[in-house]
Amino acid sequence: MVDEELQDIRKRLLKINDKIKSYSNLSKSPQFSNEKEIKPQRLRGDQEIPVDEMRAKLRAINEYIRARAMGRDVKPPVFLREELPPPPVEKLAFVMEEETVEEVGEEQEPVPVKEEETTTVVLPALSRGRNAAVRTGVGLDLGTAYIVASREVEDKRVFVKNERNAFLSVRCDQSTKDLLTRLKIKYVALQDKLYVLGGMALELADIFGRETQRSMNMGILNPSEAESIPIIQLLVKNILWEPREKGEVCCFSVPAKPLDRDQDTIYHRGVFEGILKNIGFKPLVIDEGYAVVLSEMEDQDFTGIGISCGAGMVNICAAFKSVPVLSFSITRGGDWIDKSAATVLGVPTTRVSTIKEHGMSIKIPANREEEAIAIYYRNYIHYLIENMARVFGKSTDTPHFKEPADIVFAGGSSMVPGFIDVVQEEIKSVKFGFPVGNILHAKEPFTSVVRGCLFNAINGGSQ
């Protein structure tokens, strides 16, 4: 449990942080624009504490909290020692910042996730002859790192919701439950264990040097996690809407058969079909790469190559006039980059994930950590292009494109700056067996698959 000492430190931390914010805002105020120096108010007694000193104290307190939470016996900063209570005997589980999320109990109804409206990209036009007034259907992208859902709310306007597909086991006692509830952190109690769900799981893992647990691995249900099915079931129920009508179609993505691993999706597919039927949906399946073709290649008459670069794997689909001709996958994805870079850097994979997601360029890495990530990113892209050339150059199923075929990349792992530049460099050195047109990046890479799923649900559901 979190003891009184760290609760007290946390309160001090928040007070100091508020002071810093207030002084920063004060210095930007127009009425002080001509002042040479802004002096902060006195924090206690007659002692003035400059902003720089407050920031230093903030860092010192934060480092102390992390050390104590990881079980190290360290002394508090000097400026706190006289006022702190005696150190606790029991090791602490974790300390966390506030986040606006909700508790999910074992017997409770799932709590809706905040909807994010996507207005910059709309769905392709429906098939000719469809009744535009009938717009039922839901898209569901079951990714290794994220679960994303989409629904059309009116003419071509789409709502998109997402939740990180991760969880983290924490101490299971009443004090921890009370703390999670008070801080509005999403969790679930399964039997005698407690799990933090979603994005907060990654944040806590990064802070305390732990690894997150995944309900999926390499695009399918994770066999090494016994809790995979009950947790993924909760996450899916939490993110989906109620069916608009009985048997509304929910189209969900599945990976294609991989080239470099003996893996099938029969069990994976069956589990999710059962989950969706229990909610009240009619399940419909789509290959992940084909979903990219449907969402991104309307201008090309749905002809070309769609590629989804996810956390667990990369899915590739070649289509001709909306007909999927050849689909396959490779089992290197964003997770492979994270694990490989983490190994050589000697840090948790969550640390690498955080660096990637908070902005870096694989063309211009800024430090040793980014350099390691960039090296593995380049190797990952080389591996992808090399395997694509091998399949397209030899497979009898490869479509004989008369015109140069565009290739469009989507997925979270394609969003790092410099990705398309490196792809273009690699493609110059291989031959695909057909003329290559433009190398494109999806308009919204993160939602490309789920929009393709929604497009297929709307069309397939009205047949």
How far is residue 193's CA from residue 170's CA, in Å, rounded to a whole number? 8
Report the CATH number at residue 377. Answer: 3.30.420.40
Q: What is the DSSP string of 351-391?
A: HHHHHHHT---SSS--SHHHHHHHHHHHHHHHHHHHHHHHH
> Measured between alpha carbons, how far is 127 from 116 in angstroms, rounded to an integer?
27
* 220 within a domain of the structure (yes/no): no
The last residue of one of the domains, among 31, 58, 81, is 81
β-strand partners of 169: 195
The pLDDT of residue 184 is 76
Integer Cα distance of 273 and 142 in angstroms: 12
Exposure string for 312-322, b = 16+ CB within 10 A, e = fewer: bbbbbbbbbeb
Q: Is residue 405 part of a domain?
A: yes
236 and 131 assigned to the same domain: yes
Residue 165 clears pLDDT 60, i.e. is over it: yes
pLDDT at 81 over 60: no
pLDDT tens per residue, range 419-460: 999 999 999 989 888 899 999 999 999 999 999 999 999 987
Question: If you average pLDDT over each of 33-42, 156-165, 176-185, 314-323, which comes out highest?
Answer: 314-323
47 with 139, same domain: the answer is no
The more confidently predicted of residues 267 and 5 is: 267
Domain assignment present for residue 388? The answer is yes
| H/E element, 176 | helix 174-182
Cβ 452 vs Cβ 290: under 8 Å: yes
pLDDT for position 1: 43
Q: Indicate the range of 144-153, 179-188, 353-362, 384-393 predicted with least confidence.
A: 179-188
Same domain, 264 and 401: yes
- 240 and 132, same domain (yes or no): yes
345 and 429 share a domain? yes
- Asked which of 32-41, 77-86, 185-194, 275-284 is least confident by mean pLDDT, the reply is 32-41
pLDDT of residue 345: 95
Cα separation, 92 vs 4, whole angstroms: 11
Q: What is the largest CA-CA distance in the chain?
A: 83
pLDDT of residue 440: 97
What is the pLDDT, as a whole number, of residue 10? Answer: 60
For residues 378 and 427, membership in a common domain is answered with: yes
Determine, yes or no, domain membership for 281: yes
Mean pLDDT of 322-341: 94
SS3 content of the chain, % helix, strand, coil (to 5): 40, 20, 40
Q: Are residues 50 and 122 in the same domain?
A: no
Question: Which tops the pLDDT comparison, 3 or 427?
Answer: 427
Lowest mean pLDDT among 5-9, 298-302, 343-347: 5-9
Please give the average per-residue pLDDT across 335-339, as a whole number.
94
The residue that leads in pLDDT, 226 or 120, is: 226
Backbone φ/ψ region at 304: left (φ over 0), alpha (ψ -120 to 50), beta: left
Q: Is the pLDDT of residue 62 over 50?
A: yes
Domain count, the chain: 2
* pLDDT value of position 231: 87
Which residue among 81, 105, 134 closes a domain?
Answer: 81
The reported pLDDT for the residue numbered 272 is 93
pLDDT of residue 451: 95
Return the pLDDT at 460. Answer: 77
**Beta-carbon contacts of residue 345 (< 8 Å; ≥ 6 apart):** 351, 352, 368, 369, 372
Structural domain includes residue 173: no
DSSP string over 188-245: EEETTEEEEETHHHHHHHHHTT-PPB-SEETTEE-TT-TTHHHHHHHHHHHHSPPPSS
Integer-rounded Cα radius of gyration of the chain: 25
Q: Is 252 inside any structural domain?
A: yes
Same domain? For 35 and 159 the reply is no
Question: Would residue 182 count as lying in a domain?
Answer: no
The parent domain of residue 271 ranges over 118-163+226-461
The SS3 call for residue 413 is helix
Same domain, 258 and 305: yes
Per the domain annotation, does 140 fall within a domain? yes
C-alpha dist (Å) from residue 212 to 5, 239, 306, 412: 27, 20, 30, 18
Segment among 158-167, 304-313, 320-329 with least mean pLDDT: 158-167
pLDDT of 65 above 80: no
Check if the beta carbon of residue 228 is closer than 8 Å to that of residue 216: yes
Query: What was the pLDDT predicted at 16?
Result: 57
Confidence of residue 223 (pLDDT cuts 50, 70, 90): confident
The pLDDT of residue 108: 37
Is residue 67 domain-shared with residue 127, that is, in the same domain? no
Q: pTM (2 decimals)?
A: 0.69
The whole-angstrom separation of Cα 315 and Cα 420 is 17
* Residue 388 and residue 297 share a domain: yes
| 149/73 same-domain check | no
Tokens of 138: 């839901």
Res 96: pLDDT: 28
Confidence label for 261 from pLDDT (cuts 50, 70 and 90): confident
- Using an 8 Å Cβ cutoff, are 195 and 231 in contact? yes
